[in-house]
Amino acid sequence: MSAADAAHGAFSTLFSNIFIKLPTPNTDLRGQTFIVTGSNTGLGFEAARHLNNLGTEKLIMAVRNVTKGETARAEILGSTGRKEDSIEVWSLDMASYESVKEFAARVTRTLPRVDGVLANAGIMVDKFTMFEDNESTLTVNVINTFLLLLLLVPKLRESGTKFNIAPRFTTVNSALHYMAPVKGLDSDDSEIFARLNDPKTADMGARYNLSKLLVIYAVRELAERLNASSTASSTIIINSPNPSYCKSNLAQGTEVGRSSAGKMFEKLLARSTEEGSRALVHGVISGTESNGQYLTNCHVQVPACLVTDSRGVRIQKKFADELVAKLERISPEISSYV
């Protein structure tokens, strides 16, 4: 993290939240199918409401707690007036490799088409715990997010070819990636995941920030790799929008988020959850100009220098290679896609 990057991230967030109002989505989505993970609350819930209101033929609310998901579904349908069968609630636990694999298999087996996936589910914690064989933030925000993407590649490509569309896979980002610590990422001594999974050296106060930097690396690299050998009719658009600082329960997993100061700061400066969700909807309905890109305020934005400079390019390649190798060990079938 450079001082310039950190200052840019902080200033851009303040400027966005004070002076910029995001446009309300108005695209006609009739006949289309979308998936939103983590959609029973917060930004995911509001994004799901927008998508249902825009006429989606089928919206899959992918949630860890199906009972809470059904409650959220009923609330959305009550506000949009859409038919009961326009939304389904499916189980998905982003902390579990097996749950992601089962969910992707169900999508592939049962949905006629997939136009967009909004991978919204994520966590922010400041205590080191393990989910599967990684620190929890890495498992949820990074590894299982891209495991879901790669397992859905055949279905996304099939949908693209059959319906002449460019399916989208969108995963949420943050201006906090500008403030991510990169110590230990640029080293030939050991694997990146091995260092990040060491509880003795993990900087958990900035782990969420780092996870969002890693997401940008993966989005940029996989957007290029997945589409390098594909035809125009089967292009998959992968992007990562930043909704900016929003009212949500995300930071409740940290002491800062639960503090009086944190709650006051949110009250004064945070966007509403609904407005922030507009950025996510923009991402999941965007065109090819967004492929491989970081988005802010509903347009393409240049990410941190630690993404775009020569050091960032080197880290991106090394991290992507490690990520793909890890994902292939979890689900060997994805090796043919990347």
Distance CA 131, CA 108 (A): 25
- For residues 120 and 236, what is the distance between their CA atoms, to the nearest angstrom? 18
Question: Are the CB atoms for 216 and 178 separated by under 8 Å?
Answer: no
Q: Is 172 in contact with 122 (CB distance < 8 Å)?
A: yes
Tokens 């902390």 — which residue? 95
For residues 192 and 186, what is the distance between their CA atoms, to the nearest angstrom? 8
Residue 217 catalytic? no
Q: Around Cβ 209, how many Cβ atoms within 10 Å?
A: 23
For residue 85, the 8-state DSSP code is G
Specify the amino acid at residue 292. Answer: G
Locate 219 and state its tokens. 């989005």
Residue with tokens 């939240």, as numbered in its chain? 17
Question: 286: helix, coil or strand?
Answer: coil
Q: Which of 230, 191, 216 is nearest to 326 (CA)?
A: 191
Q: Among 102, 147, 120, which Cα is nearest to 39's?
A: 120
Cα angle at 276 between 271 and 281, to 5 degrees? Answer: 170
| Side chain identity, residue 278 | R
**Catalytic residue (one of 58, 155, 178, 208):** 208
What whole-number distance in Å separates Cα of residue 304 and Cα of residue 287? 23
Q: Active site residue: 58, 155, 212, 326, which one?
A: 212
Alpha-helix runs per DSSP H in the chain: 3-19, 42-53, 66-80, 97-110, 136-137, 144-163, 192-196, 207-228, 255-258, 260-269, 273-284, 305-308, 310-330
**Among all chains, which residue has been given the structure tokens 């609350």?**
41
Among all residues, which ones are annotated catalytic? 208, 212
